[in-house]
Every structure is written in structure tokens, then in C-alpha cells.
Amino acid sequence: MRFEATLNGRPVSWEIAPHAFLTEVLRAHGYVGTKRGCETGDCGACAVLLDGLEVNSCVLLAAQASGHALTTIEGLGTMDHPHPAQDAFVDAGAIQCGFCTPGMVMATVALCGDNASPTADDARAALGGHLCRCTGYVKPIEAVLDAAARLRGDAQRG
Amino acid sequence: MRKGDEMTKEFKTPDGWDTGAASMGEYERFKTVNKSERRVDALKLALGKGTFADDELPAGTLHVKVLWSPHAHAKITRIDVSRAEKMPGVRCVLHHGNVPRVPHTTAGQGFPEPSPWDAYMFDDVVRFVGDRVCAVGAETEADAMRALEVIDVEYALLPAIFDPEEALKPGAVRIHAGPDPRGIADTSKNLAAHLHAVVGDPERGFADSDLVVENEYRVGYHQQSPIEPHVAVTWLDENNRLTVKVATQVPFHSRRILAQVLEIPVSRIRVIKPRIGGGFGGKQEILVEDIPALVTLRTGRPARLYYTRAEQLVSARTRHPAIVRLKTGFKKDGTMVVNQMKAIGNTGAYGAHALTVFSCTGGKALPLYRAKHYLFEAHVAYTNLPIAGAFRGYGGPQGFFATEIQMDIAAERLGLDPIEIRRMNMLRPGDDNPLAVALGEGREGYPQIIRSCGLEDCIAKGKEAIGWHRRGTFDTSGPGAGHLRRGMGMVLLMHGSGIPGIDMASAFLKLNDDGSFNLLVGATDIGTGSDTILSQIAAEALRVPLDKIVIYSSDTDLTPFDTGAYASSTTYITGNAVKKAAEGTLRQLIAAAAKIWECEELGLQAHDVAIWHPDGRRLTYGEICISTFYNHNQHQIMDHASHLSYECPPPFSAHFCEIEVDTETGGVKVVKYVAAVDCGVAINPKAAEGQTEGGTSISLGWALSEEFRFDESGRMQNAGFDGYKIPSALDIPEFQSILVPTYEPTGPFGAKSVSEIPTDGPAPILSNAIYDAIGVRLLEIPFTPEKVLAAWRAKVAGR
């Protein structure tokens, strides 16, 4: 079947299997920043944004995402122009192995889209569905708060 | 004056013994070291660049799936793969009847490995639910899985043993029979490994003691659970050499053991370590390379084996469950006289790391407190359960669980403060560790005398940060006390830095036209930050900013040897190799400048990416490189160095925590956790904090929620992140890491290790804090709500 969606701001049209999950389809097309950690929707390494809402792509049929606007980690920033959330994770020392990082960054972007001034508890809740075995979450929580501050700064500067 | 202060005064270091105290001024001179530089690899990871093993597959890759044993112990009497071989897409089927039978260990350790050679690629006996039976390489995963369904296997069931003490009894069924395996302590007793070490005369010590405390402690399964599962991708290059891209901590051990198992020369194998998504010891194992490698050799096609989360939980590796019986004798004043630890370990179906993990159980935990007499004994048994192996902490957490609860129990019986009894007995600079010789890495060890030791500072700063003075002030028993009871706990810890006399690392550095350097290391950054830390060490020694160092790790064709990312060795061992190579390179830069200037080398100075003449002239590193490439005195400025250490300086740590126990639910909430650590000079303070926070979090999971639940047939019942609960951001307390500055004279720029020590703390500290909160002493983890509630109710009923 056909998969038609807006991916990172551009239209895509792919042939997919009806039973294919979104993680597999994205990875097969080179969007490998979307990670597979559990494939049961428990670890959040596969998180992407669907119409701005964070979803675990490993348990979402690609067919269900067809017709929607999707954002993956590749759609956020580049080496020369990282997204403020990506910079915040680097600066906070929130990245150790980096495998869960794309999912956490997506969660951060989703949170900041809803709530420009999150508290530490908001940050915890936003990361609550993202398992990380390296950091103990201390620096990722700092990174979320710093990302929010940077985004507020960007908004003020217009 | 308090008792502990007197102890400090009495203490003297041997004359001339360098404890690093005289080098503390170095902290002021560091330019790159001891700075929280941005990690050299972090941005690409934040951008989601495809750098992991499974992110890029060669065209035409076959997908390999494994058929796992449904039985805990059985002989395969017949295996018929003929239908599977004819299934669509199937290209290769492997099982015990068609692969070489080579006894080996999957443990990625130095050679000869101290772990028994008791594993085979496939065997005709399966030894736990989740053991390998057969593998299929097919065009798609779905093809491979369909083929697995039509493989016909007949099993003759054998009695299964799930209890290590049962396994060791006479008459128990033998889990490893036959003539093939090597290095098993005693196959007739299911004894994978045995350790026995004595210092002094323990019986005399007990006779001399005023108080003898004896308890049994139990810890269960715990899984490394890196978020990136195990994965290997293999292919033949244009020279028909086998290339293996694998999520590994030990590329050089992987190459050596693969050559052994596949019966091909090392020269035909190239192991590439790409970016690794966490390891924690689980990837110190040659676990997923052999099957796809053989599929590739048989078919000529690239192949990939990738564990699902369930496969990872059941069929990868775990922390060794243990029963630790600890008997400790004290004088009335709190002086420890004798400490005796007898451990029963469960290595599961195979003996990976069985000997050396338990060597660390005694070897890391016992020496922290000085005693005249020690005894350590371990019996590590085979059972028909999942396989244990290396796990960050490597035996230390099992040992400290016993010793650090025991200290609290002893303090209470003697009427002493739990901190003071520890301070009276703890190691100090100049102290010997007599167990280090008695318990080596599978052979006699090397003497270890303590140099840097920041324990006193760790205690002082940790106490202050947690607010220890509030301990005992919580109203936990009066009529006004509610169902939420607060308590506090503390523990002291030590670990090691590399394996003395065994861990060897090397580094290669070369100068480029623009004054940058390529740094090639065999060390494996698995998320530890070692690429950044080793670059910082090189930059400091070469007097350049960090961005002048271009690091590459690691590839057995391109980078020099390194034992790998384990045993808290990379900063200390590889760091010293990098420092030596950088110093050698710098000497060459100075010599080349002297030749250009036709002057003496003496008096030339290096800073700011240039060599400076006393008269003010300078040559940038780039100018020297271009001159030596193209003009005169032509050569490549480069150096390499190796490092091995007979010393293993322990990092030290004091953990403190405050908890709240809900006596209606049994829930234990960690309110605040403080970890003060002496890791020598922290090369990158933020990275050292990250190691401390992450290592603590892993063991908080072990202490509170992570457990393997088995049914009566030995099948794991909770093989998924929905049932096997590792901590999430919602479970983590307010956390404070404190880096206590010391200077380790044998370390690179004063550094010791930091990665493993935090894993030793959470299990005993929570037991101590729960006792403080509700007066119930729990000696078996995990402290689940059910267990805590049952213990609380028993206490209330008994009142």
C-alpha cells in the first residue's frame, strides 16, 4: 500500500507493507536516528512527532501515520545549525552512549511545544517514557530545562 | 575529640611514599584536563546520525534468527532442518550437527581466559530455557522466523537444577559432563569456579574478638540492559576477509575468540567497533558474532544477528546472583579483627566470568576495612538458568551488599556511630591490601599499597550534603508518626582501576599539516566518554586545544591493541598510553624545531600549538609538520606507546541517602541521594558526574525493582521492559554528585577510575536506610513493596 505523509517538512510517497511499523519504514528509508530499543513501546528510543505529538513509532503502524505530518530527529537540526534542544543535550553532558538521545530530544521538543516554561517535574514526566541506562536522567532533566530556556530566548529574539 | 580524629592522627604514611598530596598544585596548571569539555562525539549523536552497528547494512544482508531452547536441560536426540532449508528465502541453517565443536568461553578477557571453556557455537545439550539450538540465515527476518517454525527437534529431557546450592550437592545432575570442556573447577560438582584465600589466622581472629556478627545476604539476577541490544553485522571484503561490525566492548578479544571458534586465522578477521549504545559489561562477551560470521563464510553473503529485547533479557548475560555469608569479628571499641566471606555464586548454564567476578566480590569489598585476618571463599555453581557474566561492578556489588550492611549491624550492637566505626577501620594512604596478592585475576596478584585516598573528604562532604545531622530526628515510631517514615543510610566503597599486570592498552599519534593530530586507540568508547577523555589527555600533553585532536576508536585493522572497555581501565590504563605517546610526539616536535633553527633543544618550549625559541621566535606545529613533510629532515612526526600497570589505585566513595517508606504499601521512595567520589583528577568532571549518576541508577534498579522471575520450568516470566523494570526518570531521586579532588601519582594527570564504583552503593545503602526508617533489616534484594510490607507487618505483629 502507499504511504503518503509530510516528513520533516517534505512530502514523501512510499510503498509499504500493511503490517509494517513506522520505525521499520523510517529506518528502511535511511531515517536511522529513530532507534529500536524494545519494539514494545516501553523504551521511547523510537519516538517521533506526529502532528507535533510525541509517539512511539515502534508500535504505530506506518499505515496509521499515513496522511500526517511527521518529524524525526533528522528534521530538527544539522551539524552547522543544531536545534536548541540538541545543543542543550550536548552542553548538559546528557549524552553518554547516545542511543536513547534522539527519543529524548523529540520528547523535549514535544514538551516545549506544549509548555514553554516546564518545571523539573514536567521534565521528568516528559522523559518518563524514555529509558536510559547510562545517565541516571540527572543531566537529561537539566538538558530539558536548558532547552526550554534556549527556546524561550529564541522566541523573545523573534 | 572524637574517636575517628584520633585514628587520623595516629596514621602515618611510609617515608617517601607518594600519596599525591604534593601534586595538588597541578590542578591550577591544567588547560584541558579537569575541564568539562563538550564531548567530541555528542553532537552527531544528538543529531541522530547513523553511527551504530545496525544503522547501515551492506546490500544483500541475510537476516539471522536463532531457535532457542524451550527446555532448561535436555539432550537433542534428533534435529531435522530439511523442511527449513527448503523454505523461501532460507540460505543457511546452522546447528550442532554442521558446525565445528570448539570449546571456548564467550567471556571477552585476556588470554588465556580465566573463564572455563565450556561453550560451543551449538551443542547437542541445551542447558537453560533460552540456550541456542539452531540458527537460520534468510533473505528477510520474516523468512528466517518462518523457517524456525518448521525445524523439528526431539529432546530427551534431563533433570534441571535452579538452585546453586542444590547444584553443588553430591548426586546432582551434571550440567557440563564429557571430556571437552576445559578449566572447570570440578565438573562432577557443577563447580564452575572455586576461590579460597586466607590472610592471617581467621579462627584465632574470631577467638580474639569481643563481638562476632554473622549474616547471610542474597542478591538476585540483574541485567545490563543497554538500550541498544546486541547486534553484529558480518561480510566478506574484496580480499575475502571476514569483516565484523559489532556492538562490542572488546574488539580485540572478539577477533581472537572468533578466530578460535571459526577455526580461521586472526589475519583473516577484521573487527570494527562502531558507535556502541551502552554495554555495562554485557558487551564484554563474544555473543552475537560467531553465528552471522559463519553464515557469511558459508554463503559469501553479508549477515546480521540482532537480539530482540526479550532475547537480550533471556539469552544475553546478567549479574551473577549470589548468597554471601559474612562473619566479622570486632573488638569492643569497634576495631575490626577478622572478616570472613563465603560466597555461593550462580553462573547459570555457562561459566562466563565466574572466577573473576567472584574474585572481585571478596577482592573489592573486603579490603576496604583493615583486619588482621581475612578469609574469602567462593563456590560458583552451574545451574540451568540464564548465563551470568560481566556487569559493571563485576562482583563488587555482591560483596559490598554484605559488608556495608554488616558494618551498620556491628555499629548498632557495639553502640557506635555507623560512620565512626567505618572511619576507625577504613583504608588510608600507605595501607597495604593483603588480599590483592592472595586474590589475583585467576593467578596470584600484585601487592597494592594505597597512594591517593580521599575517603575522609568524601565522608565529610557527603554528610554535609545530605544533612546527616537530621538522622534520628525523624518521628518514626511515636503515636504521631504517619504511614510515611523517613530514614537515612550511608555506605563507603572502593573499587579498582584496571586489572594489574594484565590490562594493556596502546595508542598511536601522528601530526598533520595544520597542527592537528590523529589519535588512534583500541579503547572502546561505549558511551563512557573515553574518546573525549583520551583526547583531553592528548591535548593537555601536547599543549593544544581539544579540537586539534581527531580521535578514532576502534578497528582491529587500524588501531593498536587494547584489552577493551572493562575493569574501570580505560582512563587509567589507556590514558597513560595516550599520555606517553603524546609526550613522545612532543619531544619529536621539539627536536624538529631545533633542527630547523639549528639550535639546542634545551630551552625550547611548547605551548599554544607552537614551539617557542627563548628569543621569542616560534614555529607552529603546522609549520613544523609541513617542513618535515616536504622540505628538510623529512619524516612523519608520530609516536606510539603501550601501558600496563602493576598498581591498581582504588577510587573511593561515600554514598548517603534519604528515603521514605510507605508502611501502608511497602513502597520505598528515594528522596535524595548523594554520591561523593574520589576518582583522582576527574579528566572531564561532567563525564565523571555522569558516570556516578548512571552507575548509581543502575544499581538502584537492582535494589528496588529489577528481578528475573522464573516459572517452575526455569522460563523467565518477565522478559521485556514492561515486566523487567529498569528505572525511569520518574524513579530517580534528587541526586548530587560530589567529586572530591585528590591526585593519583600513577594515573594520567592524576586520574583514577570512576565508572564502576557507584554500582556498589545502592543495594546496601537502601537496606541501611530502610532499617533507619522502619526498624526492619532486609538482607535480600530487591526491596519490592511486597517484601518491605511483609517485613513491616511481621515486625508490627511481633511487637
Which of B225, B693, B726 is opposite residue A135, by nearest beta carbon?
Answer: B693
Task: Decide if A95 and B45 are in contact by the 8 Å CB cutoff.
Answer: yes
* Residue keyed to cell 596478592: B437
Nearest chain A alpha carbon to B686: A93
Q: Which of A21, A40, A74 is the last residue of a domain?
A: A74
What confidence tens digit (pLDDT) does each residue in B108-118 have? Answer: 999 999 999 99
From chain A, pick out residues whose CB is under 8 angstroms from the CB of B43.
79, 82, 86, 90
Are A36 and A63 members of one domain?
A: yes
Question: Once rounded to an integer, what is the mean pLDDT over residues B610-615?
Answer: 98
> Within 13 Å, how many C-alpha atoms sit on residue B791's CB side?
23
What confidence tens digit (pLDDT) does each residue in B256-266 have? Answer: 999 999 999 99
Residue B770: exposed, middle, or buried by beta-carbon count in 10 A (0-12, 13-18, 19+)?
buried
What confidence tens digit (pLDDT) does each residue in B169-209 have? Answer: 999 999 998 788 999 999 999 999 999 999 999 999 999 99
- Please list, in sequence order, all residues whose beta carbon lies within 8 angstroms of the beta carbon of residue A15, skipping any fewer than 6 positions away: A1, A2, A3
> Strand B549-552 relative to strand B517-521: parallel, antiparallel, unpaired?
parallel
Nearest chain B alpha carbon to A96: B527
H runs (alpha helix) in B263-394: 290-299, 309-315, 354-365
% of chain B beyond a pLDDT of 70 = 97
| Cα distance between residue B203 and residue B214, in whole Å | 14
3-state secondary structure of B748: helix
Task: Decide if B43 and A79 are in contact by the 8 Å CB cutoff.
Answer: yes
pLDDT at B573: 98
Preceding peptide of B782 cis, ω within 30°:
yes
Q: CB of B774 within 8 A of CB of B668?
A: no
pLDDT at B12: 56
From chain A, pick out residues whose CB is under 8 angstroms from the CB of B695.
136
What confidence tens digit (pLDDT) does each residue in B646-677 have? Answer: 999 999 999 999 999 999 999 999 999 999 99
**Comparing C-alpha atoms, which of B200, B270, B265, B263 is closest to residue B234?**
B270
* Backbone angle region of B489, left / alpha / beta, with phi > 0 → left and psi within -120 to 50 → alpha: beta
Phi, psi of B367 (to 5 degrees): -70, -10
From chain B, pick out residues whose CB is under 8 angstroms from the CB of A40.
309, 720-722
pLDDT at A154: 79
Is residue B527 less than 8 Å (CB to CB) from chain A?
yes
Question: Once rounded to an integer, what is the mean pLDDT over residues B99-106?
Answer: 97
pLDDT at B437: 86
Q: Per the domain annotation, does A79 fall within a domain?
A: no
From chain B, pick out residues whose CB is under 8 angstroms from the CB of A87.
46
pLDDT at B478: 57
* Residue keyed to cell 566492548: B249
Nearest chain A alpha carbon to B36: A93
Q: What is the model's pTM?
A: 0.96
pLDDT at A158: 62
ipTM: 0.98
Nearest chain A alpha carbon to B247: A97
What confidence tens digit (pLDDT) does each residue in B223-270 have? Answer: 999 999 999 999 999 999 999 999 999 999 999 999 999 999 999 999
* Residue keyed to cell 561492578: B393
Nearest chain B alpha carbon to A75: B47
> What separation, in Å, do the N-terminal and C-terminal C-alpha atoms of chain A show?
42
Which of A99, A131, A135 is opposite residue B721, by nearest beta carbon?
Answer: A131
The second-level CATH assignment, the architecture, of B3-20+318-499+647-798 is 2-Layer Sandwich (3.30)
Residue B7 has pLDDT above 50, yes or no: no
Is residue B56 less than 8 Å (CB to CB) from chain A?
yes
H runs (alpha helix) in B653-761: 685-704
**Residue A34 is part of which domain span?**
2-74
Q: Report the residue of B39, B44, B45, B724 to disrupt the A interface, i.e. the one with the largest count of A CBs within 10 Å.
A: B45
Element at A10 (helix H, strand E):
strand A10-15
Question: Which DSSP category does B572 fall into?
Answer: I
Superfamily assignment of B53-158+230-306 in CATH? Aldehyde oxidase/xanthine dehydrogenase, a/b hammerhead (3.90.1170.50)
* CB contact residues (below 8 A), chain B span 176-235, against chain A: 224-229
pLDDT at A74: 98
Going from N- to C-terminal start, the domains of chain B cover: 3-20+318-499+647-798, 53-158+230-306, 504-644
From chain A, pick out residues whose CB is under 8 angstroms from the CB of B61.
none
pLDDT at B6: 39
Q: Report the residue of A39, A70, A78, A97 to disrupt the B interface, i.e. the one with the largest count of B CBs within 10 Å.
A: A97
Amino acid residing at A5: A
What confidence tens digit (pLDDT) does each residue in B547-576 have? Answer: 999 999 999 999 999 999 999 999 999 999
* Backbone angle region of B604, left / alpha / beta, with phi > 0 → left and psi within -120 to 50 → alpha: beta
Whole-number average pLDDT of chain B: 95
**Residue B8 pLDDT class (50, 70, 90 cuts):** very low
Task: Decide if A40 and B720 are in contact by the 8 Å CB cutoff.
Answer: yes
Residue B14 has pLDDT above 70, yes or no: no
Cα of B685 to nearest chain A Cα, Å: 10
Question: Once rounded to an integer, what is the mean pLDDT over residues B33-55?
Answer: 96
From chain A, pick out residues whose CB is under 8 angstroms from the CB of B719.
none
| Cα distance between residue B546 and residue B460, in whole Å | 34
Task: Decide if B278 and A125 are in contact by the 8 Å CB cutoff.
Answer: no
Q: CB of A73 within 8 A of CB of A33?
A: yes
**Comparing C-alpha atoms, which of B720, B699, B718 is closest to residue B709?**
B718
Q: Which of A74, A99, A121 is the last residue of a domain?
A: A74
% of chain B beyond a pLDDT of 90 = 93
pLDDT at B529: 97
Q: Per the domain annotation, does A123 fall within a domain?
A: yes
What confidence tens digit (pLDDT) does each residue in B691-744 have? Answer: 999 999 999 999 999 999 999 999 999 999 999 999 999 999 999 999 999 999
Cα of A8 to nearest chain B Cα, Å: 14
Residue B759 has pLDDT above 90, yes or no: yes
Give the number of A-B residue pairs with CB atoms closer than 8 Å: 180
Which of A35, A38, A134 is opposite residue B721, by nearest beta carbon?
Answer: A38
CATH number for position A10: 3.10.20.30
For chain A, count helices (H), then strands (E).
6, 5
Cα of A141 to nearest chain B Cα, Å: 8
Separation in Å, CA B449 to CA A9, B17, B188, B740 = 62, 9, 39, 20
Task: Decide if B309 and A38 are in contact by the 8 Å CB cutoff.
Answer: yes
Task: Decide if A139 and B528 are in contact by the 8 Å CB cutoff.
Answer: no
Q: Report the residue of B35, B40, B41, B47 to disrupt the A interface, i.e. the one with the largest count of A CBs within 10 Å.
A: B47
> Within 13 Å, how many C-alpha atoms sit on residue B491's CB side?
29
Helix axes B762-774, B685-704, angle to 10 degrees: 60
Task: Decide if A102 and B529 are in contact by the 8 Å CB cutoff.
Answer: no
Are A106 and A53 members of one domain?
A: no
Residue B443 has pLDDT above 80, yes or no: no
| Cα distance between residue B442 and residue B431, in whole Å | 24
Cα of A47 to nearest chain B Cα, Å: 12
Task: Decide if B42 and A98 are in contact by the 8 Å CB cutoff.
Answer: yes
Q: CB of B677 within 8 A of CB of B652?
A: yes
Q: Report the residue of A34, A119, A138, A142 to disrupt the B interface, i.e. the one with the largest count of B CBs within 10 Å.
A: A138
Q: How many domains does chain A have?
A: 2
**Comparing C-alpha atoms, which of A63, A149, A143, A61 is closest to residue A98?**
A143
Phi, psi of B511 (to 5 degrees): -90, 140
What are all long-range contacts of B183-190, with beta carbons under 8 Å and residues at least 24 apart?
B183/B105, B183/B113, B183/B114, B183/B115, B183/B116, B183/B117, B183/B118, B184/B116, B184/B118, B184/B351, B185/B116, B185/B355, B185/B380, B190/B161, B190/B381, B190/B382, B190/B383
**Residue B9 pLDDT class (50, 70, 90 cuts):** very low
pLDDT at B50: 84
Residue A32 has pLDDT above 50, yes or no: yes
The second-level CATH assignment, the architecture, of B504-644 is 2-Layer Sandwich (3.30)
Cα of B60 to nearest chain A Cα, Å: 13
Are A15 and A70 members of one domain?
A: yes
Task: Decide if B226 and A97 are in contact by the 8 Å CB cutoff.
Answer: yes
How many residues make up chain A in this entry? 158
**Residue A72 pLDDT class (50, 70, 90 cuts):** very high
Nearest chain B alpha carbon to A82: B47
Are A69 and A93 members of one domain?
A: no
C-alpha B768 chain-centroid distance: 25
Task: Decide if A90 and B275 are in contact by the 8 Å CB cutoff.
Answer: no
Question: Which DSSP category does B143 fall into?
Answer: H
**Residue B287 pLDDT class (50, 70, 90 cuts):** very high
- Please list, in sequence order, all residues whose beta carbon lies within 8 angstroms of the beta carbon of residue B70, skipping any fewer than 6 positions away: B129, B715
Name the more confident of B97 and B437.
Answer: B97
What confidence tens digit (pLDDT) does each residue in B502-515 have? Answer: 999 999 999 999 99
Nearest chain A alpha carbon to B530: A96
Task: Decide if A96 and B529 are in contact by the 8 Å CB cutoff.
Answer: yes
What confidence tens digit (pLDDT) does each residue in B619-631 have? Answer: 999 999 999 999 9
Q: Per the domain annotation, does A93 fall within a domain?
A: yes
Residue B219, number of CB atoms within 10 A of its CB: 23
